[in-house]
Structure 1
Amino acid sequence: MNNEYKRRFGLPILFHAFIESMLKLNPRQLMRNPVLFVLEMAALLVLLMTVFPSYFGTGQQVGLNAIVCMILLFTILFANFAEALAEGRGKAHADSLIKARKELTAKQILADGSYRNLAATQLVKGDIVLVESGGLIPGDGMIIEGIAAIDESSITGESAVIVKQANTDLSSVTGGTTVVSDWIKVKMTADPGNSFLDRMISLIEGTKRQKAPNEIALSTLLVVFTLIFLIVVVTIYPLAAYVGIQLDVSTLIILFVCLIPTTIGGLLSAIGISGIDRVTRFNILAMSGKAVEMAGDINTVILDKTGTVTFGHRMASEFVVVSGAPIEELVEVAVITSLFDATIEGNSVLELAKQQPVFSGLRTYQGEVVPFTAEERMSGLNFNGTFFRKGAVNAISSYVTQRGGDIPTDLLEKSDAISRLGGTPLAVSRDHKIVGLIHLKDTIKPGMRERLEALRAMGIKTVMCTGDNPLTAATIAREAGIDAFFAESKPEDKLRIVREEQALGKLVAMTGDGTNDAPALAQADVGMAMNSGTNAAKEAANMVDLDSDPTKIIEVISIGKQLLITRGVVTTFSIANDFSKYFAIIPAMFSGSLPQFQTLNIMGLQSPTSAMLSALIFNAVIIPLLIPLALKGVNYKPIGANQLLFRNLMIYGVGGVIFPFIGIKAIDLLLNII
C-alpha cells in the first residue's frame, strides 16, 4: 500500500470522515439534502414513538421501534460518511500541499553561474533553479535543460514516475513534485501566490462546490419522488383502516424509507465531489466541479492544430528518390547530412532512416561540419573529399549546378507534389549529384487519430482551427480524422466559431494558451488553458492544464461523462431496488389480515417483522457498499449512446432488481439465526 493510498484511504481519513458524518447530523446541514432531511425527520418520529409510546396509541412495539430508529440513524450516517469521505480526500490533498509548500527550498542559479539556497516563496517568474535527484521542485516551471524522472504522486495520486525533458511536450513541471533521478534546470513560470499549490489549496479550502445543472435537476427529481411516496404512504393508512387493516406507524415509515431514493440521495454529493479529484490526477486544475460535469455534455471540441493535433515541428516523413537513384544512397546521404544536425528536423531524419529496410546503421564520420545559415539555406558535411549537402531545393539545385552537375528531370515535379500536400521538400546531394528529397511535414501526434475517433464514438464533433493555408489544413484534418477545419484563422474567428456552435444549441469545449485565445476560452462552456500560456488565457478558462498538453481535453470529457454515467447508474440501481423491496414489505404489511398476500412472498421470508427489518437493513448497507463506485466512477468506454444505455440497464437495472432479492434473503436468514 503506497503512501498516497494511505493518505486518501487510510485510518486517519476514515476516522475524520466518521467524525464529520456525525457532525452532519445537524438538521441545518441536512436541509441541503432534502431526501436525507426527510429521513432524519422519520428517524426522529420513530425515536419519539420509542421514548413516548403512550402518545402514539396502544400496541406500539417499543423494541421494534428502537431497532428501526437505529437502522435509520445508521442509514443517514452512511450517507453522510460518503460525502465526508469525498470531502476528506480533498482536504487531505490540501494538507499535503500545504506541507509541501512549507518545505520547499530552491537552489537558484545566478547570472554568474553560481548557486544560492533560498526559500521557494522568494522565487519570482523567470528565475532559474537546479533540481537534483531526490529534490523537490520549488515551483511551477519549464525544464530548459536536462532530463529526469519525476514523481507527481503528491499532486496527481498516481505512483508511476514520468520522464520529462527540455524542448518536448513533457517539459512543464509542477511545484511540490519530486525528481527521482538525474537533474534538471527549471525556469519559473509563476510568481509566489500564483502557483499550482497556492491555487489548489485556495480551491479546496476557500470555495464551496457549485452544483451543476444536471445535479440540480436530479436533486429536484429526488424531491418530487420523495413527495410522491410520502403522499402514497400517507394515503395507504386511511385506506387500510377503511377495509379493516390496522397498520403500525413504524411499518408505514419502513415502507416510506425503503421507497424513497435514499441511495442516490446519499451518494449524490460524493459523486460530484469526486469529479474534481479525478481531474486533478491528470494534473489539471478545475475551478469547480461544475466545469468538470459540464464537460460530460460537450458536443463540440475546438482544437488548435499546432501543438495539439500536431507536434508543431516539421519532421521527416518520407524519402523520395529522383531520376531512379537507389534508395540506399538517398538514405545514406540523408543520414550523413543529419548526424551533426541537432535540430528536431535532423533527429527526425535519423529516426526515419532507422525504419528503412536498407538502413545499414550509424557510423562515425570525421570531417568538416557545414552548419546551416539563412544565407546558404543548407547544411552538411565534407568527408574524405566528398561533399554531402541537405537544404532547400533551389539552394541545393544552385549548389549542384555550380559544381557542374545536372538537375534531375523529375526533381521539380516531385518537390511540387510535396508542397501541394502542405509539406516542405528538402533536397539531398552528394558532390554534384542530387540523390533525392526528404518530405518534411508537421507530424500528427501518435495516437491522435485514435483519440479523435474516441471522441467521435462519444458523439462529439471535432473542429480544428489553424493559421495555415487551406491545403495544409485539409491534409492534416484528413490524416487526423478531424470532422471540420478552419484555415487561416484569426482570434476573432475562434470566438465566432464558438458562438456559432452554441447558437445551434451545442456545448463547446476549447483549448488555448494565448491572450488572443482568451475571448473564445471565456465564451466556451469548457475552456482549458495551458499552464505555459498567458495569465489572460488562464483567467478566462475554467480549467488549467499544468502539463500544457491540449489533448488532455479528451480526458476531461471522458471524466465528465464518467461522472454523469456514474450518477445515472446509481440512480438506475436505486430505483430498481424498489421493485425487490415491494416483495419484502408489501406481503409483510398485509399478510396478517389478508392471507392471500402471502403468495407475493416469493423470497420466502421468515416473518413480517423479519421481512421489514431485512428490507430496511439492506436499504442502509447498500449505501456504504456503493461508496467505492461513487468515488472511483463507473468504467467508461466511448461507445454509442444506445449501446451504453442498454449495457447499463442490463448491469445496473437488472442487477438492481436481482441483488436485493439475494441481499434481503441473506439478511432475513441472519436475523432468524440471531
Structure 2
Amino acid sequence: MNPVATTPKPPKPQRFRPYDRRHARKQAKVNTKGIYQRAIKDAFVKLNPKDAVKNPVMFLVWVGTLVTLAATIDPELFGSVPGNNPRLINGLITVILFFTVWFANFAEAVAEGRGKAQADALRSTKSETIAKKLSPDGTITEVPSTSLQRGDTVYVVAGDIIPADGEVIMGAASVDESAITGESAPVLKETGSDVASSVTGGTRIISDELIVRITADPGRGFIDRMIALVEGADRSKTPNEIALTVLLAILSLVFLFVVVTIPPIANYVGSPVSVSILVALLVALIPTTIGGLLSAIGIAGMDRVAQFNVIATSGRAVEACGDVNTLILDKTGTITLGNRLAEGFIPINGHSMEQVAYVALAASVFDETPEGKSIVRLAEKLGARINFDVDRSEGIEFSAKTRMSGTNLPNGQQVRKGAVDAIKGFVRSRNGNTSPELDSAYEMVSQQGGTPLAVCFDNEIFGVIYLKDIVKPGIRDRFEQLRRMGVRTIMLTGDNRITASVIAKEAGVDDFIAEANPEDKIAVIQKEQREGKIVAMTGDGTNDAPALAQANVGVAMNTGTQAAKEAANMVDLDSDPTKLIDIVSIGKQLLITRGALTTFSIANDIAKYFAIIPVLFASANLQGLNIMRLTSTNSAVLSALIYNALIIPALIPLALKGVKFRPLTSNQLLQRNILIYGLGGVIAPFIAIKLIDLIITVVGLA
C-alpha cells in the first residue's frame, strides 16, 4: 500500500529561528540623530502644565520646582532659613529639579520620536496618483486617487502605483510592497485567493495587470492607519500602566504626608529644616525613576513590535501579549512549512494507479491552491489527461463545512476529493459503499504525519491522495520555551485526528484540535477565556475574522483579507505566522522591563532615605545615623538629587531596548528582579551619592 509515484523532494528547509532583530531594526529606517534633536525640543514642550499633570509623580516634582524657584527669589518667603547662602542652595535645587522633570520628558519624547520617524517614512510613500477608474460600462476615466470611494473599481498595469487599498477581482500580477514591509522580493497578487488578493495603496505593480475593487475610503487606508498607530498621537495608557501609575501616585502621596510631619519633629530636636530641603527630600523619596520612564517603556514596547514589522493597534494589544496564557496556532504554515504537496496516490478497491490519477486530476482541474496544482502535476506525470470539456464543467470550491472540492462534469457525473470521512458521507448519500482498504490507506498516511484525501467518481471511491508537509525544524524548542513561561500551545488543523496527533507530538504542542472548522476556533478561544486565560492567535482568511476579533491578541497577516486585518489588533507586514511567538516574547519583555525598573526605582529610595534623613538631624547630635558619612545637609541633599536626576537619562537606553528576555517562570523572574534590580538598586545609589558628595565637597558647595 505504499505510494508508488512521488514528486521531486522539496529543498532542505532552513532551520527555523526567531525573527532577525537586526534585520528588523534596519527596516525601521530611523534617523537616530534626528530623533534626539526632535526629542530635545519636545521635552521643553511637555513642560506645559496640561501635559505635566498626566504624570502624577513628575507633576509633583514640577510643582516642587516652582516652590524652590520662589524660595530662590525670596529665601525668606516661607520663613527664616537656617544655614549660609540659602539662595545658592535653593537655586541649585531648583535647577536639579527642573532637569529631573526635563529628563523624564526627554525619555518619553525619544520613545515617541521613533514612532514619529517611522510615520514620516510612511508619509513619504504616500502621494496623490492618477487612478484609472472603471465605470460599469467598461470605460476608463482618470481621476485623482483621493477621490476614490469604497466600492469603486480601478485598473492598474505594470509601473502603476496602486491608488488605494482594495481586493483583486480579476487578474494576477507581481506587486512591490517594499515601501511597507521593507522586503524587496515582489509578492504575487491574484483573484480567487483568500490570502493573496488584498492589495495596499501606495504599493507598485511591477508586472501584468489587475482590476481592483477599492475597500477603503480616502484617509482610512492601511498606510493612513499605520501612520496614526506608529506616531502614537492618541496613545492611551494600558490597564497595567494605569494601575502602576495609581500605585506610584499613592506612594507619592504617602511620602508627602511623611515629609509634612518632619518640620515639627526637626524643630523639637533643634534641627530646623527649610522648605527647599523638604521639597528635595520629597523628590528624593518618591519613585521618580520609574515615574519618569513609565511612558517611555510603554511606547518603546510598541516600537519594538514595529521593528519586527508588526503594527499594533494599541499599547493594550502589546501588553496583552505579555499576559498571554494560551497560544492558538494553525498547523499549516505556522507549525509546518505550509507547502503541503501531493506525494503519491494509493489505489483501492481494485482500481489502477492510472485510474486514481485520472480521478484526482478531474477533481483538481479547478483547484488553484498549491496543493491542488501539485495533484494536477503528479497526475499528469503519471500520464493522466482530461477527456471532458472543461468549459462546460462546473468547479466546486472547497468549503470548511463540506471539507471537499471537485468537479461536476458536463454529463452530470460528479468527481470529488476531500477528507476521508467527508467523501465517505458523499458516497453513501449516493448509495455507494466503502471498504476496509480505505481505512487502511487512511491510517497508513496519517501515521506518517501526512494528510490523506480520498477521491471518488460518483458513488465509488478510487483511492487516496497522500499530501505531505514538514514540521519546521527548531519550532519544538520554541514551544518548550513558551511552556517554561507558562504559555500553553494549542494546534488547530483540519486534518484527521491521527495525522494531527503525529504532528502535535513531533512539534511538541500541549494540545491539538483535529478536523477543526471556523466555529471550532471561536469555541476553543471562548472556552479558554471562560477559564480566565488570555488567548492569542493568528489568521489570514475571511473565515478567521470572527476568531481574530474574539481573541485577546489577534495577529492578521498582511497578505490576508481586509476582513481579517480589520478584525485583528495586530497586522504582521511580513505575513509570517510564527512571528506570533516572538510577539508574545516582546509583550513579556515589556512587562519584565516595567517590573525590573519599578523594583530598581523603589530600591533607590532606600539609599536616598539613608542619605538625607540622618543629616537633617545633625544638629541634634544624631550623626551616628549618618552611615554614609556625608559632609553636610546641603551636600547630602544635592548629591541625592543629582543622582536622582541623572539616573533617569542613564536608564533611557534600558527602557527603550528592554530588559533581556529569558523564558523563566514568574517565581524565577521575581527572584531575578530582586537579586539584580532590587539589590543593585540599593547598592548603586550608596556608591554614586557618596562619590557625588566628595565632588561637591571638593568644589566647595558643601
TM norm structure 1:
0.74
> Which whole-Å CA distance do the structure 1 matches of 2:228 and 2:647 have between them?
34
Say whether the 8 Å CA contact 2:555–2:571 is kept in structure 1: yes
1:301 alignment partner in structure 2: 327
> Which whole-Å CA distance do the structure 2 matches of 1:317 and 1:165 have between them?
27
* Bigger RCO of structures 1 and 2 (CA < 8 A, at least 6 apart): 2
1:86 alignment partner in structure 2: 111
**Residues 582 and 449 (structure 1), Cα distance of their counterparts in 2 relative to 1, 3 Å cut:** same
What secondary structure sits across from 2:575 in the alignment? coil
| Matched AA of 1:255 | L
CA shift for structure 1 position 472:
1.9
What secondary structure sits across from 2:279 in the alignment? helix
2:663 to 606, 614, 638: 638
Asked if residue 623 in structure 1 is aligned to residue 681 in structure 2, the reply is no
Asked if residue 9 in structure 1 is aligned to residue 40 in structure 2, the reply is no
Q: Deviations over 1:333-371 (max 9, x none)?
A: xxxxxxxxx99789999xxxxxxxxxxxxxxxxxx9765
Say whether the 8 Å CA contact 2:197–2:561 is kept in structure 1: no
Equivalences for 1:447-458 in 2 at 5 Å? Answer: 447-458=474-485
Unaligned runs of 5+ in 2: 1-21, 134-140, 347-367, 389-436, 454-463
| Matched AA of 1:9 | T
2:555 to 528, 537, 553: 528
CA shift for structure 1 position 96:
1.8
TM norm structure 2:
0.71
2:47 alignment partner in structure 1: 25
CA shift for structure 1 position 128:
8.1
Equivalences for 1:40-55 in 2 at 5 Å? Answer: 40-55=62-77
Equivalences for 1:507-586 in 2 at 5 Å? Answer: 507-586=534-613
1:493 alignment partner in structure 2: 520
Q: Deviations over 1:151-194 (max 9, x none)?
A: 66xx57x8xx6656659999999766899xx9898997975645
| Matched AA of 2:80 | T
Q: CA RMSD in A?
A: 4.3
Say whether the 8 Å CA contact 1:528–1:541 is kept in structure 2: yes
Asked if residue 56 in structure 1 is aligned to residue 78 in structure 2, the reply is yes
| Matched AA of 2:636 | A
1:234 alignment partner in structure 2: 260
| Matched AA of 2:297 | I
Q: Deviations over 1:294-350 (max 9, x none)?
A: 111011112222333223443488999xxxxxxxxxxxxxxxxxxxxx99789999x
Q: Deviations over 1:418-463 (max 9, x none)?
A: 344452689xxxxxxxxxx997423223433232222222211111
| Matched AA of 1:250 | S
1:363 alignment partner in structure 2: none
> Which whole-Å CA distance do the structure 2 matches of 1:636 and 1:172 have between them?
35
Say whether the 8 Å CA contact 2:269–2:620 is kept in structure 1: no
> Which whole-Å CA distance do the structure 1 matches of 2:132 and 2:653 have between them?
42
Say whether the 8 Å CA contact 1:164–1:171 is kept in structure 2: no
CA shift for structure 1 position 504:
0.8
What secondary structure sits across from 1:634 in the alignment? coil
CA shift for structure 1 position 215:
0.7
1:667 alignment partner in structure 2: 692
Asked if residue 262 in structure 1 is aligned to residue 288 in structure 2, the reply is yes
Say whether the 8 Å CA contact 1:170–1:547 is kept in structure 2: no
2:3 alignment partner in structure 1: none
> Which whole-Å CA distance do the structure 2 matches of 1:104 and 1:268 have between them?
42
Equivalences for 1:421-440 in 2 at 5 Å? Answer: 421=448, 423=450, 440=467
Say whether the 8 Å CA contact 1:452–1:462 is kept in structure 2: yes
> Which whole-Å CA distance do the structure 2 matches of 1:465 and 1:147 have between them?
31
What secondary structure sits across from 1:606 in the alignment? coil
Q: Deviations over 1:571-610 (max 9, x none)?
A: 1111111122123212321223224335512xx4333322
Say whether the 8 Å CA contact 2:446–2:498 is kept in structure 1: no
| Matched AA of 1:520 | A
> Which whole-Å CA distance do the structure 1 matches of 2:542 and 2:369 have between them?
29
1:281 alignment partner in structure 2: 307
Say whether the 8 Å CA contact 1:258–1:619 is kept in structure 2: yes
**Residues 222 and 374 (structure 1), Cα distance of their counterparts in 2 relative to 1, 3 Å cut:** farther
**Residues 145 and 646 (structure 1), Cα distance of their counterparts in 2 relative to 1, 3 Å cut:** farther
Q: Percent identity?
A: 53
**Residues 498 and 440 (structure 1), Cα distance of their counterparts in 2 relative to 1, 3 Å cut:** closer
Q: Deviations over 1:104-138 (max 9, x none)?
A: 89999xxxxxxx99987799999786778xx9998
Q: How many residues align?
A: 578
Unaligned runs of 5+ in 1: 109-115, 321-341, 350-367, 377-409, 427-436
> Which whole-Å CA distance do the structure 1 matches of 2:256 and 2:127 have between them?
53
1:199 to 207, 212, 225: 225
| Matched AA of 1:492 | E
1:469 to 496, 503, 506: 496
Q: Quick check: 117-126 or 246-255, which moved more?
A: 117-126
**Residues 207 and 300 (structure 1), Cα distance of their counterparts in 2 relative to 1, 3 Å cut:** same
Q: Deviations over 1:235-290 (max 9, x none)?
A: 12212222332122222211110110111111111111122221122222211111
> Which whole-Å CA distance do the structure 2 matches of 1:638 and 1:183 have between them?
45
Equivalences for 1:132-147 in 2 at 5 Å? Answer: none
